[in-house]
Structure 1
């Protein structure tokens, strides 16, 4: 009997130790905007995936942080972000006055956003989500990674082929010893014209956002005076139009998101203040600062009817986490700079060809500290985010999103916007799944394969605001645009610039000739023989296709004429002697000689 009991306890011990190690293809740490999108995409790409989040909600800044009014990427309902947008619109569409137009600003209650994300992840196969779970250690394990977590107060080891750091503050890459920088880069280093001459360690302020509700004119919702309250701190909002500020960030159910600039919600920090050992105290002070703003609003400005809601189950009803705009940035395989935004086609590296996401957020300048350099950004175009910016340098199979991406300080302010990060997360998930599925590493990435996976799941590669996903030419235009054969055109609107494809405009020979001659050996012969005019015609592209495919031009012309509107869905009539439009050229090029099939490396250079 004793021997049987000993054997039983030995087996129990063995099975317990075995259960403490989990093997997974892709592990994402951080359930924010990028992390949840990365997890969904990775799992949908048919690899086993686990997502770990320290808090009780998915969504990070845009839910647990209260940043729930999103105006960036309104023209790009890309993949998983587009799916999330649609779920939010469907939830609120019957509410009186809720704007459900195509590119309306997205506004939602934080808890609603978190619930929607949870419901989406619950339906995804191959995906395990662990909330309220902290990691304690991370180390390299061959080409993969080994991460220790605390689950139900017990230590569990997770072995993953690929690891994504989607934490708000880059905690994984920091723990892994990756080289990191913080603050303003100097002009000599980045070659960015607006950058200051000297580097500084100042980063953008954090903000504890508040969700308020109007409880009625005769109601008093005044909170207890916060510790250390000083009304003089908030004098910058005295005399401002509070009602205008409230209505600018109005949420459903008579709620308001309070994320006001300057002395109001912002709290000045350095990267040292956000280190693990100082973070809790920094956040405590930042919370008190926002509570002081609410108390000032209720007492000094007379808005005692405005009170904090119970959206967050915290003692003070502020969000579970602050809205963090910036921290330390990891060294990546490539670094995205301002010129990749303003002049992507004129760079030595053609990083737009490796795009895994798009964005149109304008970099903010949120500093309450005096003396911080003021950057005069020219109108900011919509942009692509290159694959190499999420790939950590000198560390295999480690990807990074959120604030630790490999970008400059001047780019960071736009790239970390929640809706941009959600779009980016899908690209990170596809990249991780590629490595796991093909049993390779981040040293052997093939951008075109990853991009095709993103397109298969309705993700954008190019920020063409005038081509919707419902357009039958959308994918062809995305693919041709990602080659640079036909380039986007910037159109300035205030402090931003849209990037347009202009599908009904004509194709100029001078634009397409250099590219075609670079990648097709027969193109040089064709251009010398045919000598097309300034404007490329329908006849020209038929002739060029015939040259490359060795197909009889008359038969090709007849076939195209018969299928011009039925198969290709072109709105214009077939006329061989007229100029070919950019839409027609993109669709026919993609169909017959497919420039997107030409491989590129991680810098965007064509690979033979």
Structure 2
């Protein structure tokens, strides 16, 4: 009897151990996002959109996530995708005064994230430990170990950073005025800002540990926005996709990825999200060749205003040293279309055929209003669209401080 009982107990223990081994597994995503805050959800969706296998650890907060009134009024990027999902489900537009309860948003987000390629959401889970394991991160959760290239901390208060001993100071997120060059590296627009241009530079998302990314530059819970998360997701996806580290990021490629997914990196009060030339405005503004202006705490591009040679001389010369010869012979309070095409031809070494090419593509390729006329002053919209198309200054690389790389 004693032997039989002992044998039965041993078998029971063996079965329990075997069961634990069967159910415990090691997961290996390219990106791990911890925290289903608005920034965490957006980070995970963007990383998956960018073609990287991504896991989002939801500690239960997805059921209480909100979509702010500001996100609803000026939707772009991930919030716009979310609103589109809601409208498709309810079969009518989301009204400005329509209440979107967190429970309802959580249900919509659960259904959406369950269908996104490359994205796995582990719900109602928690992190027990985080450590660096060689070049990877090793994270333990109940029943699973996760080994990943890069971690995005989207928890309120940066709980995962605390677990690994990170004590990086929070960034204000809006210190990239034109007095510095950091605005060139913008990857998101802050929710609130007292400075213009209102941008969040890429380096504000990076920690002092390689491949550990913050989902927001601030520890304030109000700043855990979809926009900041989308930026963090693109940064993380870049590292995982190209098998590199956060000290070797390509700023322009990350910005391009974000703009592909309709994120706004520099916001102008007078440029609509659906403007046919919005991409050119974004790209040229990020180079600093055409700068916006502030009025009553709002940032404007003034697309219909004229532009002078004094406005553009120094930034154009910084990008194209050859152009300084053109500026010696050309000074104008209002640059004409003929002068703009002359600058492009001189700098890009194009011939007289450019005039005909621009005239033919005026409405179709460039989607410009009014009519082609060499004699009239060029608008800032026309300058931006044509300069971007033919000289492509956005393609000139910048480092994480916004300095041009040659």
SS at match of 1:427: helix
The answer to whether the aligner puts 1:163 opposite 2:180 as a matched pair is no
The answer to whether the aligner puts 1:398 opposite 2:212 as a matched pair is yes
The answer to whether the aligner puts 1:558 opposite 2:356 as a matched pair is yes
d(CA) in 2 for partners of 1:120, 1:458: 18
Q: Against the structure 1 CA distance between its residues 13 and 93, is the aligned structure 2 distance closer, same or farther, given a 3 Å change threshold?
A: closer
The answer to whether the aligner puts 1:146 opposite 2:135 as a matched pair is no
1:75: Cα distance to partner? 5.5
d(CA) in 2 for partners of 1:578, 1:532: 15
Q: Give 2:6's aligned residue.
A: none
Of 124, 128, 135, 1:132 maps to 124
1:338: Cα distance to partner? 5.2
The answer to whether the aligner puts 1:32 opposite 2:37 as a matched pair is yes
d(CA) in 2 for partners of 1:125, 1:564: 39
Structure-2-length-normalised TM-score:
0.89
Q: Is the 8 A contact 2:187 2:265 kept in 1?
A: yes
1:19: Cα distance to partner? 4.4
Gaps of 5+ in 1: 1-5, 182-328, 330-334, 363-378
Q: Against the structure 1 CA distance between its residues 34 and 428, is the aligned structure 2 distance closer, same or farther, given a 3 Å change threshold?
A: same
The answer to whether the aligner puts 1:509 opposite 2:285 as a matched pair is no
Q: Give 1:268's aligned residue.
A: none
Of 208, 222, 236, 1:416 maps to 222
Q: Give 2:189's aligned residue.
A: 358
Q: Is the 8 A contact 2:86 2:108 kept in 1?
A: yes
| Superposition RMSD in Å | 2.6
The superposition leaves residues 494-553 of structure 1 with CA deviations (integer Å, 9 ceiling, x where unpaired) of xxx22221211111211211011011121111111x32312222111101111122211x
Matches within 5 A, 1:203-352: 329=170, 335-336=171-172, 339-340=175-176, 344-347=177-180, 350-352=181-183
Matches within 5 A, 1:367-406: 383-393=198-208, 395-402=209-216, 405=217
Q: Give 1:291's aligned residue.
A: none
SS at match of 2:31: strand
d(CA) in 1 for partners of 2:127, 2:374: 64
1:53: Cα distance to partner? 1.2
Q: Give 2:113's aligned residue.
A: 121
Q: Give 1:605's aligned residue.
A: 403
Q: Against the structure 1 CA distance between its residues 107 and 535, is the aligned structure 2 distance closer, same or farther, given a 3 Å change threshold?
A: farther
SS at match of 1:135: coil
1:86: Cα distance to partner? 3.0
SS at match of 1:356: strand
1:178: Cα distance to partner? 1.1
Q: Against the structure 1 CA distance between its residues 511 and 338, is the aligned structure 2 distance closer, same or farther, given a 3 Å change threshold?
A: same
Larger radius of gyration: 1
Q: Against the structure 1 CA distance between its residues 503 and 459, is the aligned structure 2 distance closer, same or farther, given a 3 Å change threshold?
A: same
Q: Is the 8 A contact 1:145 1:162 kept in 2?
A: yes
Q: Give 1:64's aligned residue.
A: 64
d(CA) in 2 for partners of 1:457, 1:337: 21
Q: Give 1:305's aligned residue.
A: none
SS at match of 2:243: coil
Q: Is the 8 A contact 1:174 1:180 kept in 2?
A: no
Q: Give 1:426's aligned residue.
A: 230
Q: Against the structure 1 CA distance between its residues 106 and 433, is the aligned structure 2 distance closer, same or farther, given a 3 Å change threshold?
A: farther
The answer to whether the aligner puts 1:112 opposite 2:112 as a matched pair is no
d(CA) in 2 for partners of 1:147, 1:116: 28
Q: Is the 8 A contact 1:480 1:590 kept in 2?
A: yes
1:567: Cα distance to partner? 2.1
Gaps of 5+ in 2: 1-10
Structure-1-length-normalised TM-score:
0.61
Q: Is the 8 A contact 2:187 2:202 kept in 1?
A: yes
The superposition leaves residues 539-579 of structure 1 with CA deviations (integer Å, 9 ceiling, x where unpaired) of 11101111122211x31112211221222111111111211
1:488: Cα distance to partner? 1.7
Of 446, 452, 473, 2:277 maps to 473
Higher share of residues assigned helix: 2
Q: Against the structure 1 CA distance between its residues 45 and 149, is the aligned structure 2 distance closer, same or farther, given a 3 Å change threshold?
A: same
